[in-house]
Amino acid sequence: MNVASWWESLLYRSDQPLLFTQTFFWLFFAVVLIGYSLVYPRQRWRNAYLFVVSLFFYYKTSGLFVGLLLFSTLTDYWIGLAMAKTSATTVRKSWLALSIFLNVGVLVYFKYAYFFTDTFNALLGTEFSVYNHLAHWSNGFFGTSFRAEKILLPVGISFFTFQTMSYAIDVYRRQIEPVRNLTDFGFYVSFFPQLVAGPIVRASEFVPQLSRPYHLTRAAFGIAIFWILNGLIKKIFLADYLAVNFIDRVFAQPGSFSGFENLMALFGYSLQVYADFSGYTDIAIGVAALLGFTLPVNFNSPYKARNVGEFWKRWHISLSTWLKDYLYIPMGGNRHGSLFSWVMVGLIALFILLFDRSWTTAGIIASTLGGLWLLMRFLPGVRSHVHTNINLMLTMTIGGLWHGASWNMVIWGALNGMGLVVYKYAKRWGLLAGKETWLYRSAAILLTLTFITFTRTWFRGESLEMASLMLSRIAYAFRADLIPEVITGYNTVFAIMVTGYVIHWLPARWKSGLRVTFARAPLAAQAAAAAGAVLLVYQVLTAELQPFIYFIF
């Protein structure tokens, strides 16, 4: 490789993001480890070094949006210090409000500009278009050539904005002390293994690790390698193979497939999105561990959940707990409502009314809200139920919108909120009481998985029409007579799908035992296992690189 091609490989290319499944990433990581071996004994140098390589990683993944990452880092760093310098509640609240305004503003501008503009146009019949004022300003001020007619979505923006915002909130609540060193804080925000797809790391979990000396035992090394291999197998062998060979085809044209194929594509997608996202997390945990840092667990066998409530304690744990601690509880949680809660209810009612401008819709909304007010006014015991359910529904709906700027995601979040409400009352009324038999647990797990899979019709579907078409094919064009032919035609796909679910449902102690066995094995055995795993994943590696699903969030 000549100097020119070597230099070009270091520059950002939109068609070549730096992914864990690329050979270039592992070459990058090898170089990082070489440099790390020189600086790791000195904590300040170590953190500064990892901050710099993390910025390079994000540059290779998202180009000049690295400037946005630096903006988010610098603003919350200074806001944290400013809050620490005063004890005046009003001043501290003002600094916190600024942090929330900047983080949410950045997120709304880059992620939701099209969603809000399209919704506004649809509601009021206007023809506004999105214009990138930041690109226009940069072109005029710096002479750049950004496209002002389009706003691109920076990779990982939902993750690092939530991370810096939670830091400012925790400093305001005096739950943590602000980070005094800028490079330390920058390293916390930008740590490359988890930067673009999580998990969302709390400062209280990670900042104390910044001052700890590097320590990696032989067992910890083995566990880290296991997590990396486990994640690669999940991503390439399960997620990518199922997507390319079956799931993507069905979702692209659901009307061309039978209801059975649509149904299997939905269950396949549930496995795909889990293998893809948890696979990324596994690799991130392993890579971080090799560098001496611990990332939080983000998944705990979610498809073993026996109800919707348990599922959301096992799935995307860092986001679920974030929404609980920084949204649900501040809104009042299960105790009371808040002004924010009712403002959001009013806005949702207004949106519904504007979409369906009929007296019938207006009457339903008015009678529903009026009935709730009367019940809360004259039956105090109802008030807590209303507040709890409103807060829960709003939290899950906003959580859905966090995943994507579309009404499909809003519906997906709201459906999960409804599932949680139904579960809560079913549990309270004793409808879920049953003997802890194998049959009862299996039925509960299957029912929960089916509900979660049903909601993914909107999560994966590109439009409301596509989601409706897929469900209609399942309901009215199931074609049970074609099942043997479909299974035969996609025998490898279904075999891998069944294998994936069976492995997922294996007892946790079996998987833990496998990890420990691998960690204690001789290095030669570990190397042989690693070679076998790499050979396996590259046997099914698709010609076209498949990005991680959560990169778009």
Q: Which sequence positions are flagged as catalytic?
A: 403
Contact 115, 98 (CB under 8 A): no
* SS3 sequence of 307-336: CHHHHHHHCCHHHHHHHHHHHHCCCCCCCC
Name the residue with tokens 């069976």: 502
Q: What angle do CA 106, 107, 108 make, to 5 degrees?
A: 95
Burial class (CB in 10 A: 0-12, 13-18, 19+), 375: middle
Burial class (CB in 10 A: 0-12, 13-18, 19+), 469: middle
- If you compute the radius of gyration of the chain from its CA atoms, what whole number of angstroms results? 25
Q: Report how far apart, in Å, the C-alpha atoms of 487 and of each of 4, 19, 207, 331, 495 are.
A: 51, 33, 51, 49, 9
320: phi then psi, degrees, rounded to nearest 5: -60, -45
Q: Report how far apart, in Å, the C-alpha atoms of 308 and of each of 391, 413, 421 are.
A: 17, 12, 9
Q: Which two tokens stand for residue 287?
A: 């890579």
* 437-450 burial code (b ≥16 CB/10 A, e <16): eeeeeeebbeebbe
478: phi then psi, degrees, rounded to nearest 5: -65, -40
* Sign of CA pseudo-dihedral 420, 421, 423, 427: positive
Q: Which of 337, 418, 427, 417 is closest to 382 using CA atoms?
A: 337
53/126 Cα distance (integer angstroms): 46
Q: Is 223 helix (H, G, I), strand (E, B) or coil?
A: helix
Q: What angle do CA 110, 466, 319 make, to 5 degrees?
A: 45
Contact 388, 408 (CB under 8 A): no
